[in-house]
Amino acid sequence: MEPVFEAPLVPKLAVGYAPGKVIVGGEHAVVYGHPAFALPLPFGIRVLTTAQTLPRSNPRPLEERCKVQSDAMDILSPTSLEQLRGTFPDAVSAFRKIIGFWNRGYEADHSLHLNFRIDGDLIPASGLGSSAATLVALYRSLEAIRPFHPEIQCESAVFEAEAVFHGTPSGIDHSTSILGKPCMFRRSGKKIECEALHCAKEQPWLLVTRARQSRTQFSVDQIKRRYRKEPIRVSKAFDAIALLVLKMRDNYRHAQPKELGSLMNENHRILEDLGLVSKEAAALHPMLIEKGALGAKVSGAAGDKLCLLALLKPELDPKVITRELESKVMNIECRSFSA
């Protein structure tokens, strides 16, 4: 790659934002080339980046010149990447990748110091794409300070950094976050297709989550082991999910919530049969239907995480169902939105 012009950096501040995502249908199967349907969330991650040039008298490695502060990660004061490496090795590696892409094509500048303030409404490790949203927001904040090399696109840079967290990510998290619209996603080899979807009438949704310190890679590895052990059974399950997702897309486009809800329930049952639904999520599913949801299912990698998405009847008051659920189930968080 040829070096680009050396852009001068004076003290500069920029904000990058990216929404989280929730999968309506197709998780796990999407890793194996099947389609998935996802919605961007009306909340996400903000990265405030401050770049400044300090005297070069004492050159230091990049990890010592980059500092992070994040209440969600319990990093309450600016702390260098070098100091965070032991506690958050994956996050440090992913940040280094994005910053490395940002510096590519520029002469090394050992006087450059970066401070990152990370804020947002996404619970880490809850299946809502928090790591992808953080990396997209980081990319956008750096891009606002100084352009990336033309060959470095957000999609490819974040996908490579996401692999640190998830091993072999499908790409649906960062693709939905970048697009910021309901979408139909599919990956075939290295080719990614992300089609924006438009609904004739926005639908009311309810998201039920609880923070878990588990990793998506664990659930992905779990289904990989199941696939190696029972390839025919898992393949048939994924084929069935793929057909459901195609029908979901059409139902969503034409604002057919009853039909869409029924397909979500079926997708949930298939995931449950594959052992990808926790006992807690299995118990909450019928409660959501009883309270008036047209359909509900676990979303994202699931496993021991709690992340359920419910499609509500239009006449339901989300606040009522939220109060009832939170009074019966400890330590859950319910958030309603329209999409």
| Torsion-angle region of 159 (φ positive above 0: left; ψ -120 to 50: alpha; else: beta) | alpha
| Cα separation, 148 vs 230, whole angstroms | 45
Q: Are 51 and 65 in contact (CB under 8 A)?
A: no
Confidence of residue 5 (pLDDT cuts 50, 70, 90): very low
- The rounded mean pLDDT for the chain is 88
Is the model's pLDDT at 9 over the cut of 70?
no
- What CA–CA distance (Å, rounded) separates 230 from 234? 6
Per-residue pLDDT, 126: 80
Structure confidence at residue 190 (pLDDT): 79
Selected residue with higher pLDDT from 111 and 218: 111
pLDDT tens readout for residues 159-195 = 999 988 877 788 999 999 999 999 999 998 878 999 9
Is domain 204-338 classified as CATH 3.40.50.300?
Answer: no
| Domain 12-196 -> CATH class | alpha beta
Residue pair 22/41 in contact (Cβ under 8 Å)? The answer is yes
Average pLDDT rounded to a whole number, residues 272-291: 92
> What's the residue count for the chain?
339
Kindly tell me if the per-residue pLDDT of 214 is higher than 60: no
Instruction: Indicate whether 227 pLDDT > 80.
Output: no
In 149-256, alpha helices (H): 154-166, 172-179, 216-229, 231-253
In whole angstroms, give the CA distance from residue 282 to residue 301: 15
Residues 295-317 pLDDT 10s:
999 998 655 678 999 999 999 99
Given this model, what pLDDT does residue 3 score? Answer: 43
pLDDT of amino acid 219: 59
Tens digits of per-residue pLDDT, 51-93? 988 766 566 777 788 999 998 888 999 999 999 999 999 999 9
The more confidently predicted of residues 216 and 51 is 51
pTM for the model stands at 0.90
Task: Give the CA distances from residue 31 to residues 110, 141, 219, 272, in Å, rounded to whole numbers and listed in that order.
Answer: 40, 29, 12, 18
3-class state of residue 15 by DSSP: strand
Domains of the chain, residue spans: 12-196, 204-338
Alpha carbon distance 43, 45 (integer Å): 7
- The tens digit of pLDDT for each residue in 90-140 reads 999 999 999 999 988 776 666 788 999 999 999 877 889 999 999 999 999
pLDDT value, residue 213: 42
Torsion angle of C-alpha atoms 156, 161, 165, 167, degrees rounded to 10: 60
Q: What integer pLDDT is reported at residue 107 of this predicted model?
A: 64
Question: Edge to edge, what strands does the sheet with 293-298 contain?
Answer: 293-298, 306-312, 204-210, 333-338
pLDDT band at 211 (very low <50, low <70, confident <90, very high): low
**Is 286's pLDDT higher than 80?**
yes
**CB neighbourhood size of 114 (10 A):** 21
Q: Are 220 and 168 in contact (CB under 8 A)?
A: yes
Distance CA 314, CA 312 (A): 6
Report the range of poorest mean pLDDT among 187-191, 232-236, 287-291. Answer: 187-191
Alpha carbons 331 and 55: distance in angstroms, whole number: 49
Give the chain's count of helices (H) and strands (E): 11, 11
Measuring CA to CA, which residue among 137, 89, 147, 146 is closest to residue 117? 137
Highest mean pLDDT among 6-10, 90-94, 261-265: 261-265
* Cα torsion 90, 117, 51, 58: sign: negative
Q: What distance in Å separates the CA atoms of residue 228 and residue 231, rounded to the nearest whole number?
A: 6
